[in-house]
Structure 1
């Protein structure tokens, strides 16, 4: 005959032990919910909006075209490769231009020599005029000693020559020769500068930090001036380009925050209006608008994006309460929020939600006046009449 000890029957004891193990497993399997907190209902300007389709574009994008005819000898990378400002991207063959450059350098050397000679002749005429040289005056075909003694006197007696006028004419002649030599030197230098510019045009440098988005040529291709070589973009910062109907443009202002939603995402992010084009498209009657996306957004050029443009003037917008998404409960067909009344007791309110404004906030269309205190992340099992425990 079996003997049982005092206490619970063995079946009930075993059952409670299994309940304890199951509860412990559930506690370890599911993460602990965030602690509840009491927050004030915020007010925000809201209005109706229209959803327009836009495209993500780079902050800056350029198309590098060939400036000179030639053969492509170097391409620095492929699509997606990053480069810093002034990095060499594409180079063309410049052998012929380098040969011409050597010829122009020879011309510069020759022009420089001619200029130095012309300056020497001018200085000689300035300090040792040839008009005072007796060999230039009509002499008597006798030795220079007698010419120096008698020629000038006889020339002056017979009114033969004007030494001052002759000296001035010689100076002008030498000065003109020096100026012509200097002009030839400058012309040769200008030719060198022009050729250097053409040599620089055979190389395409990165105008800013960015990446290659599209490579349009390969090494060995022969290109002509104006032919596209590659597309280069700055994608660290991204923008949204959207065509807005003319009737809605008046509702947008520079630096205004507009909600947008990337394709494949279920959350809105706020983008800032950075540019409103002053001219409308005459065929589509739309105005191009650009918006700056946040720096940390995960997107890429070419992505489709939905832009919510206000359909009424923001000056006519009304204030509506906004609450965190985590404060809304969905226990039935209608969403609800728990508020704290003046006695500090929880009350359930049935609300109607509107659009999401970003940063985890939702507009409440009805059910709240805007001056309540609500319970965010309400604890499980909360009901009307629940009272938060006072901190010790």
Structure 2
């Protein structure tokens, strides 16, 4: 049986303030009560942080679309697949384009044949002119025909290369290593230029976008050197870099803060994240206490600590916690400075 102390927990409705790993400094003293190791809670001085809700987004996200119109005949990927750069994503019906490319290749052969005839004719005309059997005008006409045939052959060759290039547009490949986040077409659909076929994002480069009041932007820009913490799916991450965008939203009058996530973060674009952005340093803020993380006990969805009562009994009390470091956790509600808590919850639970 666990005994919860009466009159608690005390729920705080104020702004959640806390410290990420490495910023909070636990204040208090360790002592003992009847052989039980305890900790006396005391106010702490720490870098104050404000909690902001944010959205995970990809630094590099691409809407892949077709450059030509055509029916989708193959779609070998699905949402959630990881693809490599150059991997086939979609194939469009290219029969008409391939026929045009074949016709252009045939026209190139015809132009080259005409160029060869014009070359031989010019050579004969030059020999006749050297023997004074034809006039200069006849030689000039032969040379002009040769130049015309050469230009036509070059034009047909360029047209054939363009046709081959266009036929390659019917095969859509991945521009970089990515994850397929969404498919916008299915096999048989008609793809049109500019219309998205699928969406890709680079999982190695993610960030959190947070909207903060415009009035707070100037103070944040002065503290870009301070580290920030991001909480994603219950996991706390220290961000390596963050920035405050220079422009404000004219509708909401907020400024976007972008926080880069380290590589390998278990996150996906569109997900929820909570960021702890630095405020001015506050000393001994009311109700701000830190306790050793090992003193906390988890009971289902509730967290608590064993508080040592004046008569020496260990009472399990529910608390509301904030940011947690490697060995310290801030208690937002449920504890006050001067109270003693047990450092070993298991030993406190066995205490009569």
TM-score by shorter chain over 0.5? yes
> Does the C-alpha gap of structure 1 residues 172 and 283 become closer, same or farther in structure 2, counting only changes over 3 Å?
farther
Question: Aligned Cα RMSD in Å?
Answer: 3.7
In the other structure, the counterpart of 1:258 is 228
Change (3 A) 1:318 1:118: farther
What is the distance in 2 between the residues matched to 1:319 and 1:187? 79
Deviations 1:341-383 (A, max 9, x none): xxxxxxxxxxxxx96464444579x99xxxxxxxxx88998xx
Matched, 1:229 2:229: no
Are the structure 2 counterparts of residues 327 and 216 from structure 1 closer, same or farther at C-alpha, using a change threshold of 3 Å? closer
Aligned to 2:129: 130
Q: Which moved more, 1:226-235 or 1:102-111?
A: 226-235
Q: Which residue of 2 aligns with 1:186?
A: 154
Greater helix share, structure number: 1
Question: How far is the alpha carbon of 1:254 from its aligned partner?
Answer: 6.1
Other-structure match for 1:113? 113
The residue that corresponds to 1:350 in the other structure is: none
1:99–1:379 distance in 2 versus 1, CA, 3 Å: closer
Out of 257, 264, 269, the position equivalent to 1:289 is: 257
Select which of 332, 335, 341 maps to 2:307. 332
Aligned to 1:215: 183
Q: TM-score, normalised by structure 1?
A: 0.59
TM-score, length-normalised on structure 2?
0.65
Q: Alpha-carbon deviation of 1:268?
A: 3.2
Query: Are the counterparts in 2 of residues 236 and 295 from structure 1 also a CA contact under 8 Å?
Result: yes
Partner of 1:271: 239
Residue 71 of structure 1, CA deviation: 0.7
Q: Does the Cα contact within 8 Å between 2:306 and 2:345 map onto a contact in 1?
A: no
Distance 1:214 1:327, change over 3 A: closer
- Whether the 8 Å contact between 2:70 and 2:192 is mirrored in structure 1 is yes
C-alpha displacement of 1:309: 1.9
> Shift of the alpha carbon at 1:319?
9.3
Tell me the CA shift for residue 170 of structure 1: 4.7
Distance 2:79 2:276 in 1: 32
Q: Of Structure 1 and Structure 2, which has the larger fraction of its residues in strand?
A: 2
**Distance of 1:177 and 1:291 partners within structure 2:** 68
Following superposition of structure 1 onto structure 2, how do residues 62-77 of structure 1 map, counting pairs within 5 Å? 62-77=62-77
- Tell me what 1:305 maps to: 273
Partner of 1:247: 215
Q: Based on CA coordinates, which of the two structures has the bigger radius of gyration?
A: 1
- The alignment partner of 2:198 has SS state of strand
Change in 2 beyond 3 A, CA 1:274/1:111? farther
Seen in structure 2, the aligned counterparts of structure 1 residues 48 and 106 have a Cα distance that, compared at 3 Å, is same
Give structure 2 stretches of 5+ with no counterpart: 1-44, 297-304, 310-320, 338-342, 348-352
Count of residues in correspondence between the two structures:
273
- Partners of 2:272 and 2:187 in 1: how far apart? 34
Q: Please give the secondary structure, in 2, of the residue aligned with 1:277.
A: strand
Higher RCO (CA < 8 A, seq sep 6+): 2
